[in-house]
């Protein structure tokens, strides 16, 4: 485990293995355990991951203006500069997919492959699927994490998600139970309201091999977003993962296999 400094923040990252660099980014409210869970170490791949602002052991929270896809993308490029990595395969899960997309669009010379797993954003701020994150932020701010989780559990919104997709429901509750829930609530306020890119035509300018991983039975990561992204990026390959709510172990096996094969190709 290592740290590097940018914008008066100590960013927590891992750097393991040797070979072609692959930078893999977690989702909103996640950490590096999420990325490590679906990556299987393999010869010839240098695995790099980092915890974004307001996540994991990256501290302090920093300024509010830093919670945007452009800023998170600049943090990734700063990590690459710190590690003297000129170009890498770049990927992420959910918010991490959005950050990776932002870097691929704004810094195309730094990316040679792109993996977008379970995308949750397109070019529309505060999409319907992510409004629940701001709802959670409101409960934490008004009632605190401990009381807020009890109230949130009673909402029609949560009960509907928990019934349709239990794993997604549990991931929402983890936003309340993480150790720094109140301290880092700004990420749940600001990131859903931002966008990875603003020009829909930008996807058509991506010129690197791209793998899009979608799934269904997942109200936070609609299947239609993965389809839209794969259709818009030239030559992108769309593959489907078993929903975590149906079989989490199978989801992980499939993600490992697809990501590993894409990196080896």
For 81-111, write each residue's pLDDT tens digit: 999 999 999 999 999 999 999 999 999 999 9
Name residues whose C-beta falls within 8 Å of residue 119's C-beta, 6 or more positions apart in sequence: 94, 97, 98, 101, 212, 214, 221, 225, 226, 229
Residue 117 belongs to some domain of the structure: yes
Residue 216 belongs to some domain of the structure: yes
Look at residues 143, 177, 211 and tell me which one is the last residue of a structural domain: 177
Verify that 50 and 92 share a domain, yes or no. Answer: yes
State pTM to two decimals.
Answer: 0.98
Task: Dump pLDDT digits (tens) for 142-159.
Answer: 999 999 999 999 999 999
Q: What is the pLDDT of residue 251?
A: 98
Residue 227 belongs to some domain of the structure: yes
Residue 214 belongs to some domain of the structure: yes
Verify that 65 and 106 share a domain, yes or no. Answer: yes
Residue 182 belongs to some domain of the structure: no
Verify that 132 and 256 share a domain, yes or no. Answer: no
Mean pLDDT, residues 194-203 taken together: 96
Verify that 28 and 121 share a domain, yes or no. Answer: yes
Residue 188 belongs to some domain of the structure: no
Look at residues 177, 206, 237 and tell me which one is the last residue of a structural domain: 177
Task: Dump pLDDT digits (tens) for 2-36.
Answer: 999 999 999 999 999 999 999 999 999 999 999 99
Verify that 17 and 136 share a domain, yes or no. Answer: no
Residue 189 belongs to some domain of the structure: no
Verify that 162 and 33 share a domain, yes or no. Answer: no
Residue 183 belongs to some domain of the structure: no
Verify that 79 and 205 share a domain, yes or no. Answer: yes
pLDDT band at 1 (very low <50, low <70, confident <90, very high): confident
- In whole numbers, what is the pLDDT of the chain averaged over residues? 97
Verify that 121 and 133 share a domain, yes or no. Answer: no
The percent of residues above 90 in pLDDT, for the chain, comes to 100
Mean pLDDT, residues 196-211 taken together: 97
The two three-digit tokens of residue 25, written as one number? 């980014």
Task: Count up the domains in the chain and report the number.
Answer: 2
Mean pLDDT, residues 176-189 taken together: 97
CATH code for position 254: 3.40.50.1820
Verify that 165 and 119 share a domain, yes or no. Answer: no
Verify that 204 and 231 share a domain, yes or no. Answer: yes
Mean pLDDT, residues 119-132 taken together: 97
Task: Dump pLDDT digits (tens) for 225-247.
Answer: 999 999 999 999 999 999 999 99
Verify that 219 and 146 share a domain, yes or no. Answer: no
Question: In terms of residue numbers, what domain contains 241?
Answer: 2-125+195-264
Verify that 145 and 200 share a domain, yes or no. Answer: no
């Amino acid at each position: 485990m290592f740290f590097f400094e940018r914008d008066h923040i100590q960013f927590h990252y891992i750097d393991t293995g040797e070979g072609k660099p692959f930078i893999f980014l977690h989702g909103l409210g996640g950490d590096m355990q999420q990325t490590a869970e679906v990556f299987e170490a393999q010869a010839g791949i240098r695995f790099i991951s980092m915890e974004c602002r307001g996540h994991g052991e990256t501290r302090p929270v920093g300024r509010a203006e830093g919670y945007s896809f452009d800023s998170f993308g600049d943090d990734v490029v700063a990590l690459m500069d710190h590690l003297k990595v000129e170009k890498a395969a770049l990927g992420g899960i959910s918010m991490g997919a959005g950050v990776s997309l932002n870097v691929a669009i704004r810094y195309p010379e730094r990316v040679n492959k792109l993996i977008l797993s379970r995308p949750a954003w397109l070019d529309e701020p505060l999409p319907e699927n992510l409004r629940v994150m701001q709802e959670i932020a409101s409960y934490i701010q008004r009632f605190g994490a401990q009381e807020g989780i009890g109230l949130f559990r009673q909402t029609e919104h949560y009960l509907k998600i928990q019934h349709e997709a239990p794993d997604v429901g549990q991931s929402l509750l983890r936003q309340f139970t993480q150790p720094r829930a109140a301290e880092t609530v700004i990420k749940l306020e600001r990131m859903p309201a931002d966008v990875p890119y603003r020009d829909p035509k930008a996807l058509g300018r991506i010129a690197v091999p791209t793998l899009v991983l979608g799934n269904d039975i997942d109200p936070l990561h609609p299947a239609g977003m993965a389809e839209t992204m794969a259709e818009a990026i030239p030559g992108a390959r769309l593959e489907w993962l078993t929903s975590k709510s149906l079989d989490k172990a199978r989801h992980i096996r499939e993600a490992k296999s697809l990501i590993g094969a894409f990196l080896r190709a």
